[in-house]
């Protein structure tokens, strides 16, 4: 009974993967994870249009408070008129520049992320990373492994069949993790930076809240660096995966020595690299960066 159950599970998995592979080869689908990404991208554009006026109002309110505090400080210090006029002019220019950044948010803030993504595309020679494409390539590898699990092999040695099933599940999980990592960083850039990030820039006008705006800009550079590194890791991983597919399809994976364990290890290593390295490196590059905005507002009074 146990052997029959294993055979049934194998046939079911094999059938499902075969149907998915045939649908992908026929051009069906392509809007699963990519569709989720596109939905967040469109929604973030709508949020940005509604949040820019709100950020401007918040900025003007905090700017008025900042000038009131500065006026009080200038009065108590009783500096020379020329010194007070110079500080007022510098603070006015700084506040005006920051307000211009909010007004032109649509032009310069997306350019940060798009610049890093364009650099990644230029390096690897491909277009935008697609979570659906990653799943499809991983599915091709899993399908190639499952094709090698024939009823003859299962009837000859159940342990070999179970090992191959475990490897196929591990490989599928690895590529799902990679696709989710790419999807998450894209949605994060749309929602947090390109959508809701403009609201935090509205806090740049006050010495007490300017740190929120500084961290928002630093976070945009963090996501940009992470996207760039993801392009590099995913680009190489896709090339390696194509080699895995050819290896599994062209050799007997159950012959000794079997490449199945190496292929599974390579898929798991790919998932680990994509999950850890880009985020860790980007965080180390941007964690302690400061633009000195709050300090500049305090220095000017």
- Per-residue pLDDT averaged across 48-73, rounded? 88
pLDDT at position 228: 94
Closest-CA residue to 116 (of 239, 281, 259, 297):
281
Domain count, the chain: 1
Helix or strand or coil: residue 290? coil
Is the pLDDT at 48 greater than 60? The verdict is yes
The verdict on residue 262 lying in a domain is: yes
DSSP code, position 209: T
| Other Cβ atoms within 10 Å of 228 Cβ, number | 21
The verdict on residue 13 lying in a domain is: yes
Domain, as residue range, for 99: 2-22+38-299
What percentage of the chain reaches a pLDDT higher than 90? 25
pLDDT at position 301: 65
The verdict on residue 33 lying in a domain is: no
Is the pLDDT at 257 greater than 70? The verdict is no
Is the four-CA dihedral 261, 265, 231, 181 of positive or negative sign?
positive
The rounded distance, in Å, linking the Cα atoms of 140 and 151 is 20
- Higher per-residue confidence, 4 vs 186: 186
| Other Cβ atoms within 10 Å of 149 Cβ, number | 24
DSSP code, position 255: S
DSSP code, position 27: T
Q: Give me the chain's average pLDDT, please.
A: 80
In a 10 Å sphere around its CB, with 0-12 CB exposed, 13-18 middle and 19+ buried, how is residue 148 labelled? middle
| Two tokens, residue 87 | 């500080």
The rounded distance, in Å, linking the Cα atoms of 266 and 260 is 10
| Other Cβ atoms within 10 Å of 268 Cβ, number | 15
The verdict on residue 105 lying in a domain is: yes
Model confidence pTM above 0.95 = no
- Per-residue pLDDT averaged across 176-185, rounded? 94
Biggest CA pair distance of the chain: 96
The rounded distance, in Å, linking the Cα atoms of 115 and 232 is 15
Q: How confident is the model at residue 147 (pLDDT cuts 50, 70, 90)?
A: confident
The verdict on residue 125 lying in a domain is: yes
Which residues have C-beta within 8 Å of that of residue 103, sequence separation ≥ 6? 52, 56
The verdict on residue 165 lying in a domain is: yes
The verdict on residue 30 lying in a domain is: no
- Per-residue pLDDT averaged across 58-69, rounded? 89
| Other Cβ atoms within 10 Å of 152 Cβ, number | 8
Contact between 141 and 241 (Cβ < 8 Å):
yes
Contact between 119 and 245 (Cβ < 8 Å):
no
Is the pLDDT at 217 greater than 50? The verdict is yes
The rounded distance, in Å, linking the Cα atoms of 48 and 77 is 42
The verdict on residue 273 lying in a domain is: yes
């Amino acid at each position: 009974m146990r052997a029959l159950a294993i055979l049934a599970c194998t046939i079911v998995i094999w059938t499902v993967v075969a149907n998915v592979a045939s649908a992908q080869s026929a051009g069906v689908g392509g809007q699963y994870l990519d569709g989720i990404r596109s939905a967040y991208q469109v929604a973030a554009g709508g949020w940005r249009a509604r949040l820019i006026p709100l950020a401007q109002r918040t900025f003007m309110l905090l700017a008025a408070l900042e000038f009131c505090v500065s006026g009080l400080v200038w009065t108590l210090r009783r500096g020379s008129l020329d010194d007070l006029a110079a500080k007022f002019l510098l603070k006015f220019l700084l506040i005006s520049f920051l307000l211009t950044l909010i007004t032109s948010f649509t032009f310069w803030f997306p350019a940060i992320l798009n610049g890093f993504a364009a650099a990644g595309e230029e390096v690897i020679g491909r277009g935008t990373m697609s979570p659906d494409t990653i799943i499809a390539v991983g599915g091709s590898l899993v399908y190639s492994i499952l094709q090698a699990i024939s009823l003859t092999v299962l009837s000859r040695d159940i342990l070999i069949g179970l090992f191959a099933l475990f490897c196929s599940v591990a490989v599928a999980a690895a590529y799902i993790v990679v696709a989710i990592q790419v999807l998450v960083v894209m949605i994060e850039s749309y929602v947090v930076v390109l959508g809701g990030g403009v609201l935090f820039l509205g806090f740049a006008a006050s010495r007490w809240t300017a740190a929120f705006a500084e961290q928002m800009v630093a976070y945009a550079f963090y996501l940009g660096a992470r996207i760039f590194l993801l392009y590099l890791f995913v680009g190489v991983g896709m090339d390696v995966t194509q080699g895995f597919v050819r290896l599994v399809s062209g050799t007997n994976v159950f012959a000794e020595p079997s490449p199945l364990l190496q292929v599974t290890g390579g898929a798991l290593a790919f998932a680990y690299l994509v999950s850890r390295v880009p985020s860790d490196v980007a965080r180390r590059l941007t964690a302690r960066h400061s633009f000195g905005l709050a300090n500049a507002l305090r220095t000017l009074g």
